Amino acid sequence: MDHFPTNWGRPRNDAIDLYGTYPIHSRPGPTTDAFSDGVQRTQQPIVTGTSVLAIKYKDGIMMAADTLASYGSLARFKSIQRLHSVGEHTVIGASGDLSDYQYIQSLLDEVMIEEFSAADGHSLSPDEIHEFLSRVMYSRRSQMNPLWNSILVGGFKNGKRFLAYVDLLGTTYSASTLATGYGSYIAQPLLRKAVEGNEDTLTEEQARSILTQSLRVLFYRDARSLNKYQIATINAQGTHISDPVTLDTEWSFAEGIRGYGSQTK
């Protein structure tokens, strides 16, 4: 569907066919050398995680993600941890390709060991970890070989909250509420309404209920999500990632729905 009314009724542009609805004549691809078949660069995500949500609250940052790893439309692994703490002050959460995410975790582990070995009394702060991640992501996109993820970085160090985003293009930004994937369309409006302007007053309890409610809405509408999730808190006490929790959901309304699937009467 073309959402620009001024394009409606105009002759179609056969050079751009967003949804591949028309057999388009394709030119022969770029010429390559003898080894090109052996090199795999551009990829697509295979085993994927869906939305990650994060908000600022009174004492720090709270982040949430479900535990599903999808293989296309198949719910392949139902107990995968997508929140990961990096050092004392930081938690990262990722959506997108989970093998790329595990590679990123190993990169971070390596960096943390290196920093620990320096024994200089300095530990990496959340913004430094975000900077590192954004450099890795940007450099991989520049090699046309991206790490297919959207990552949230949440942290608390020296009394300061930190919350930022980085994705496969190296795009970065920061805000008091962040969400990746479908969460950016479905949960972000809910999070903004609940959090913006209340960052310094929201209690841990309130923050948790905002995130849980958003995860519930996502579970109702995002077909690649799961009703099992984890919540991470990052505050003066350090980082904490909860055990998996199950969402209580209400499906009785489904009885009343008619006209879909096998139920046509």
Is residue 5 within the footprint of another protein (CB under 8 A)? yes
Radius of gyration over every alpha carbon of the chain, rounded to an integer in angstroms: 21
Q: Comparing C-alpha atoms, which of 175, 164, 173, 75 is closest to residue 126?
A: 164
Is residue 38 within the footprint of another protein (CB under 8 A)? no
* Closer by beta carbon to another protein, 45 or else 244: 45
Which burial class, exposed, middle or buried, applies to 198 when counting CB atoms under 10 A from its CB (0-12, 13-18, 19+)? middle
Task: Determine the Cα angle at 139 with ends 89 and 179, to 5°.
Answer: 50
Is residue 11 within the footprint of another protein (CB under 8 A)? yes
Q: Residues with Cβ < 8 Å from 253, sequence gap 6 or more?
A: none
Region near another protein per CB under 8 A, out of 38-46, 62-70, 221-229, 244-252: 38-46
The answer to whether the beta carbons of residues 68 and 111 sit under 8 Å apart is no
Is residue 44 within the footprint of another protein (CB under 8 A)? yes
Is residue 19 within the footprint of another protein (CB under 8 A)? no
Is residue 42 within the footprint of another protein (CB under 8 A)? yes
Region near another protein per CB under 8 A, out of 5-13, 96-104, 108-116, 247-255: 5-13
Q: Comparing C-alpha atoms, which of 117, 97, 95 is closest to residue 218?
A: 95
Is residue 146 within the footprint of another protein (CB under 8 A)? yes
Is residue 209 within the footprint of another protein (CB under 8 A)? no
The answer to whether the beta carbons of residues 157 and 184 sit under 8 Å apart is no
| Residue 42 a catalytic site member | yes
Region near another protein per CB under 8 A, out of 25-33, 114-122, 214-222, 226-234: 25-33
The answer to whether the beta carbons of residues 226 and 219 sit under 8 Å apart is yes
Residues 167-186 that bind another protein (CB under 8 A): 169-175, 184-185
Q: Which residues are catalytic?
A: 42
Q: Which residues of this protein are in contact with another protein, per CB under 8 A?
A: 5-6, 8-11, 23, 26, 28-29, 41-44, 134, 138, 141-142, 144, 146, 165, 169-175, 184-185, 188
